[in-house]
Structure 1
Amino acid sequence: MRMLVLGAGALGGYFGGRAMERGLDVTFLVRPRRAEQLARDGLRVRSPLGDIDLPARTAAAAGPGFDVVLLSCKAYDLESAMAAIRPAVEAGACVLPILNGLVHIEALNAAFGPARVWGGLAKCAATLTPEGVVQHLGDWRWLTFGEQDGRMDGRAAAFAEALGKTRGLEAEAVPDIQRRMWEKLVHLGTVAAGTVLMRASVGEIVRAGGRDVLLTLLERNAAIAAAHGHRMTPAFMETYRALFSDPASAYTASMLRDLEAGGRTEAEHILAPLAEAARRAGVPDELHALALLHARAYDQRREAGRLPARM
């Protein structure tokens, strides 16, 4: 199968690289600076699950001939990303978005139609170093996706079979992708609100006495999901109660890493919708509102050019 990856950053570079290892025909749609980097050094991934050093094909514009477009941009870049991939989608490609949150699905459906848009989520922590190396953080390696109507006999299932399940990547097509995306939002909304609000990792928050704050966020996010028809299972809640109670955990949200790097955050695409959803569902929203206020205050300082030289 032919795969177009928008960008070759943390997630695009990681999953695109693993797809290349599996023998898929992968092209990275990148800006000139990243294209030069990849032409000079190839795609470099450093991972506890095995490094990648492979030549990478790049393109400056999308075109026909692709089966799948992996959309791994930040949520605030969605509009420009949709314009960039439109030629490939209009020529027949399906879109696999692994953006954080849920609001992007509505925009993609409006632009391309639900039949061309899959639901998707990634469970993978990675970052792109200034030298252009994709640094995989830990052993999370899951790529889960599915067609919105739940079909299991279409292109999504074929793509999952092509990617397979290996040491560095476990790809799975599922019939209940909407529920899976809500599960991720419950988890992500907890770690994003908690670590951004406290400017600390999960373990640091727990050791400081904040375990109950994290667990309260988790319970409230689960209540928001239930109000939208997606009740979390006991096994899910048990897993994430343990994760958010671990005093040794170095886990942080990518939103906190973006904030500490002085960059843009996805607060308006994750924290803001969750705060609004809490209010609509009658779920106490003061923690969500406080985390959102924290992020927006940071945005004000950033826009005014008053961030410290090193966050």
Structure 2
Amino acid sequence: MRTLFVGAGATGGYFGGRLASGGKDVTFLVRPGRAATLRERGLRIKSPGSETVVQPRLITADRVDGPYDLVVIAVKSYFLEQAMIDLAPAVGPSTVVVPLLNGMRHVEELVGAFGPERAWGGLCFVQATLNADGDVVRTGAMHRLGYGPLDGSADPRLPAVTEALTGEEFDSHPSRTIVQDMWEKWQYLASMAAITTLMGGTTAEVNAVPGGAEFSARVVAEALAVLTAAGHDPRPGALTLLHDDTHTTTRQVSTSMYRDMVAGLPVEAEAVLGDFVNEAGKAGVPAPMFAAAYAHMRVYAARRSAG
């Protein structure tokens, strides 16, 4: 399957790079600056104890070479609008579009732009970042992809998409419940972001101080109430993951939003926290912890813009 990864940052670079190193037909749509870095250094993926170097196939927006079978969008939510413009020539009548974005707002946008027959759901779990050289550095153990039709149907393209997105280096899961999967990830990510950004530390650091564990518990309780009110009660596995990572006192678990905040970079506050606060409001669910975290990140964004 001819696959286009839109973005080669920490997420797209990791999963797309792993697939490319395994011989899959993968092309990366990137901006000129990123293309220059990747041509000079290659796409380097650093995991504990190993390093993989891929010479990726690259294109920029002015060089999109016709329809692809599969388009994987791996950009930050604030880049989505431009990404949809750039990738539009890559979408043909039978193209499948799989987003690896955080939150849920992008689903409606992608369906509106490309149609329900092309826009699927998708998610990923990976703790990774780009270092100063532009290399992908994975620091956590989890590296998993999930994808599937939004309506849960047995789409005849699913086996081919599964083959295209399956590599030996990470877990790959086709799903008939992708919408529920995405809501559960959003709950996890919003909770982790609220805890780490508002308190200014990893979950282990927060829970190690007096009152920290109680704060984390309040955040989780609000998240569960929002999902239940929205009709997406979390399943046992999602609850276990959420509880383990928000209540840990030994593992230094953080989020990309926290890491971006510490580095002084743009953050996805609107798609992750802002929309979650809006969902709480629509459902009439009090969410003061999330509201505080969202306000905190808006202050951060305003200060960053002014500075």
Fold match (TM-score > 0.5): yes
State the shift of 1:47 in Å. Answer: 1.1
Partner of 1:2: 2
Higher mean alpha-carbon deviation, 86-95 vs 179-188, is at 86-95
Structure 1, gaps ≥5 residues long: 306-311
Task: Determine the structure 1 residue equivalent to 2:33.
Answer: 33
2:191 corresponds in structure 1 to 190
* Structure-2 change in CA distance of 1:196 and 1:81 (3 Å): same
Q: Which structure's residues are more often strand, by fraction?
A: 2
The one-letter code sitting in structure 2 at the alignment partner of 1:283 is V
Q: Distance in 1 between matches of 2:3 and 2:164?
A: 11
**Of the candidates 80, 83, 98, which is equivalent to residue 81 of structure 1?**
83
Q: Give the corresponding residue for 2:59.
A: 59
Change (3 A) 1:177 1:258: same
Matches within 5 A, 1:106-255: 106-164=108-166, 166=168, 168-209=169-210, 210-255=212-257
Shift of 1:115: 1.0
From 270, 277, 280, the counterpart of 1:278: 280
Q: Distance in 1 between matches of 2:6 and 2:167?
A: 23
Q: Does the 8 Å CA contact 1:75/1:100 hold for their aligned counterparts?
A: yes
Whole-angstrom distance in 2 between the partners of 1:66 and 1:246: 43
- 1:262 deviates by 1.2
Contact in 1 for aligned 2:230/2:279 (Cα 8 Å): no
Q: Is the 8 A contact 2:19 2:166 kept in 1?
A: no
Please list, as runs of the form range in 1=range in 2, the aligned pairs for 1:254-273 lying within 5 A after superposition: 254-273=256-275
CA distance in 2, matches of 1:184, 1:96: 16
TM-score by length of 1: 0.93
1:45–1:136: 8 Å Cα contact kept in structure 2? yes
Q: Deviations over 1:142-168 (max 9, x none)?
A: 0001011212342233221343352x2
Instruction: Report the RMSD for the aligned CA atoms in angstroms.
Output: 1.5
The worse-fitting range, judged by mean Cα deviation, of 157-166 and 144-153 is: 157-166
* Count of matched residue positions in the alignment of Structure 1 and Structure 2: 304
SS at match of 1:114: coil
Q: Quick one: distance in 1 between partners of 2:288 and 2:45?
A: 40
Counting aligned pairs with the same residue, the percent is 39
Q: Distance in 2 between matches of 1:127 and 1:218?
A: 26
Q: Give the CA deviation at 1:41.
A: 1.6
Q: 1:22·1:163 contact (CA, 8 Å) conserved in 2?
A: no
**Does 1:291 pair with 2:293?**
yes
Query: Which 4+ stretches in 1 moved above 4 angstroms?
Result: none
Distance 2:221 2:158 in 1: 32
Q: What SS does structure 1 have at the residue aligned with 2:68?
A: coil
The equivalences for 1:5-24 within 5 A come to: 5-24=5-24
Alignment partners' CA distance in 2, 1:196 and 1:106? 27
Report the Cα offset of residue 139 of structure 1.
1.6
TM-score when scaled to structure 2? 0.94
